[in-house]
Copies of this chain bind each other. A is one copy, B any other.
Amino acid sequence: MSFVKEVSEWILAGVGGIIQSIEEEEIDRMVETILETHDRKILLLGSGRSGFVGRAFALRLMHLGFNVYVSGETITPALTPDDLVLVISGSGTTTTIVAQAAVAKEVGSKIVAVTSHVDSPLAEFADEVVVVKGRTKIDQIFDYEGRQIAGEYDNAPLGTMFELSVMVFLDSVIAELMQKLGIHEIDLRRRHANTE
């Protein structure tokens, strides 16, 4: 097996383990919270690669008929206490993300955080937390040099494990939402952008 395929196997095994370790209660509560939003707004917050994972989820939520927005894009309406803010941040410390979560908290919107760190500034603002492990940037402060020399991190650097785990996890959440809403793939196809 080539090195690229070996690394893929290793990554997929890691992602599988991380997803299995998520608390089922946290998953159920998140699904319930999303279902409860009905036609109120959902705002996705995330930076860098976590932001791309968030946008991929947002796109599917739109396909399911949710009224969803992505922070940093042109059309982002004012938050209200009725709205749901979904934040993705492995470390839970990203400057702009924490600043925006603070505003959402002040407004009174419901905040659901997907993060590796329950004790992060982000998690403190959150009404609900879904803990997705995965070595994040912040982990590396501890014994960083030792592990670095062992090259342990070079196959999945920085937030890679977190980002991939959240991407697969959220796509699985989509499957559950589709089932609970009685929506089928053919419905998604109708809402899929035709001008891309």
A40 an interface residue at 8 Å Cβ cutoff? no
Across the interface, do A196 and B75 meet the contact criterion of CB distance under 8 Å?
no
* A8-B168, A169-B8 given; A188·B59 CB < 8 A: no
Across the interface, do A72 and B72 meet the contact criterion of CB distance under 8 Å?
yes
- Please provide the chain A residues from 149 to 166 with a CB less than 8 Å away from any CB of chain B in the complex: 151, 153-158, 160, 163-164
A194 to B19, CA, bound (A): 28
A35 an interface residue at 8 Å Cβ cutoff? no
Taking the nearest CB of chain B, how far is it from the CB of A90, in angstroms?
A: 12
A126 an interface residue at 8 Å Cβ cutoff? no
Across the interface, do A196 and B94 meet the contact criterion of CB distance under 8 Å?
yes
A11 an interface residue at 8 Å Cβ cutoff? yes
* A52-B53, A184-B154 given; A3·B179 CB < 8 A: yes
- Please provide the chain A residues from 40 to 92 with a CB less than 8 Å away from any CB of chain B in the complex: 43, 45, 47-49, 52-53, 55-56, 58-60, 62-63, 68-79
Q: Which of chain B's residues have a CB closer than 8 A to the CB of A59?
A: 48-49, 74-75
Across the interface, do B185 and A153 meet the contact criterion of CB distance under 8 Å?
yes
- Over the window 183-196 of chain A, the binary record of Cβ atoms lying under 8 Å from chain B Cβ atoms (1 yes, 0 no) is 01110111111111
Across the interface, do A78 and B194 meet the contact criterion of CB distance under 8 Å?
yes
Across the interface, do B16 and A148 meet the contact criterion of CB distance under 8 Å?
no
**9 nearest CB pairs, A to B:** A52-B52, A7-B172, A47-B196, A157-B185, A153-B185, A99-B99, A8-B172, A55-B74, A7-B175
Give chain A's interface residues, CB within 8 Å of chain B: 2-5, 7-9, 11-12, 15-16, 19-20, 22, 24, 27-28, 31, 43, 45, 47-49, 52-53, 55-56, 58-60, 62-63, 68-79, 94-97, 99-100, 102-104, 107, 137, 140, 144, 148, 151, 153-158, 160, 163-164, 167-169, 171-176, 178-179, 184-186, 188-196
